A = this chain, B = another copy of it.
Amino acid sequence: MDPDDPDLLPAERKVLERLGHLPLDFRAMAALSNLFRASAAVRRHMERRVLAADRLSWTSFVVLWVLWVWGEMESRDLAAAVGISKPTSTGVVTTLERRGLVRRRRNAPDGRMVRVSLTEDGLRKIEDLFPRFNAEERALASHLSPGEQEALAAMLRSLLRAVEGEGRAAVRQAEATA
């Protein structure tokens, strides 16, 4: 990690200047801190440029998208697919239901289950919105070559599997100890 590397962000240079003497892994730090910076920046960009016109939050948009791709789902699977907790999912679905984009059904053989699906309005909304969303994704990603985009996606998948593996390892550890 050369503090004079012109590619570094100002914040990264400042960190090396102030913490460079400590025994830290600056390479891992650069990779992960830029993961959060980039993710938050892209998310805010999308919320302002694509979603704000429909008064949709990022998470609401992801819920519509997941329901579009997977069709009607049980509530717990929806939360897992969106990547939020069940209480959060309850709240977001309630908001979308109030706006008529999503529907809850409770007539399954198992009386605990709640099934969630798009309404006609919700389907029209995501079919209209997603192509515009993807066009903006394309515009941002175009600053990387196609090969870089694929390499990026592949490395992020590794990271994701690493986290989930550690999580499961921790669970097994806890279970073994108990």
Partner of A69, one of B19, B40, B68: B19
A16 to chain B, nearest CB (A): 10
A-B contact pairs, 9 of them (CB 8 A): A15-B69, A25-B137, A29-B134, A31-B150, A37-B83, A140-B159, A140-B163, A151-B151, A152-B155
Set B11, B34, B141: member contacting A81, Cβ < 8 A: B11
Does chain B have a CB within 8 A of A18?
yes
Contact with B along A23-52 (1 / 0, CB 8 A): 111011111101111111111010001000
How many of A's residues come within 8 Å of B, CB to CB? 68
Q: Which residues of B contact A18 (CB under 8 A)?
A: 68-70
Q: Which of A90-98, A103-111, A112-120, A164-172 contacts B (4 or more CB under 8 A)?
A: A164-172
Main secondary structure of the interface of A (DSSP, over half): helix
Do B35 and A150 touch (CB < 8 A)?
no
Say yes or no: B163 contacts A34, CB within 8 Å: no
